[in-house]
Chain A
């Protein structure tokens, strides 16, 4: 029995070696005469080649099914990857939002008064890029106050305030100019209203402005205006244009919030002037003069400095 098994193993080994040797000889022949092998393989493989092409290109049921299945599988994989990335981004966004709320709370930036107002007339009854709201000076609406749609999307300014109603001009009004900050390329640019619910930012060529870049109005806090929704970039022109249309259509505006004029930043000179006026109004008592005298002396100095200040 053992002898029989051993002889079977020996014969198997011999067979294996023979097959491997024949294979090696064939490979060597192929290397010596690749052209002949190619011709033979083309003839032998022609039906398989045709079938493979049919599977790859045909519009028949089975190949289409296989291809679509593969495409769908690839799409599912790509979408799953995108979802993973988006989930991570959402966590980051939430963390940043909470941090922002906490910091704003620490700085006392939440004490912001807004007036809720309903939109009572839109561009179908008013000229385009104007809206009328149902709150006026009685409610504290001031000319020049920013108008928000949502919590932080600023859409325009109050241009006229009657007792019970006001008119708002949108940033997209023709001829309206504002300095804006475009995130992404992180540049300050001039935005001009084009009418029809569209505003335009112009920039020199070479600045990487992209679709979806956020446009802020930095003089108003918080002042997101919208996203770049269309680009016009002719390489032969010195400037490129980004068109912005607000995320909320004017016809969809139902309620807005009116901020305070104080939310609009002023120039440094204005701020200095305001501070001086505030100091004068609170610290100076009419008819009373204050004299402050101070002297500085040191043991080595021979002179003294005397300053006299009168407010």
Chain B
């Protein structure tokens, strides 16, 4: 991974974070999709856990974290096949 790609990855990660904080959910969904396919879906799990903790979701049901785990599982299952097809 090049330096540029890393910087773009970090910026995208921050964009997801701020999009969720600003309640711009469509932007967040788009950024999450792009980030998951381009990089990896696993970094989104700690982010989701952090956001759930920030919003106090652990007192009830941490929906964002559960969705992130499910999303990461799905994406990581699909991603290798996707790149095989591409190659």
Contact = CB atoms under 8 A, between A and B. Distances in A.
Interface of A: 9, 12, 16, 19-20, 23-24, 26-27, 30-31, 34, 37-38, 40-42, 44-45, 48-49, 51-52, 55-56
Contact of B18 (A19, A42, A44, A55): A55
Interface in B24-53: 42, 45-46, 49-53
Given A23-B69, A34-B56, A52 B62 contact: no
Categorize the interface residue count of chain B.
20 to 34
Nearest to A52: B21
Contacts of B53: 30, 34, 37-38, 40-41
A19 B77 CA distance: 13
B12 interface: no
Given A16-B76, A20-B69, A52-B18, A44 B56 contact: no
Contact of B54 (A27, A45, A56): A45
Nearest to B60: A34
Contacts of A31: 58, 62
Contact of A41 (B21, B54, B68): B54
A24 B70 CA distance: 11
A19 B42 contact: yes
Interface of B: 17-18, 21-22, 42, 45-46, 49-54, 56, 58-59, 62, 65-66, 68-69, 72-73, 76, 80
A24 B69 contact: yes
A34 B59 contact: yes
A23 B50 contact: no
Given A41-B53, A52-B18, A27 B66 contact: yes
A31 B66 CA distance: 12
For the complex of A and B, the 9 pairs showing the least CB-CB separation, nearest first, are: A41-B53, A34-B58, A37-B53, A52-B21, A30-B58, A41-B54, A23-B45, A45-B54, A34-B59
Contacts of A24: 69
B21 A48 contact: yes
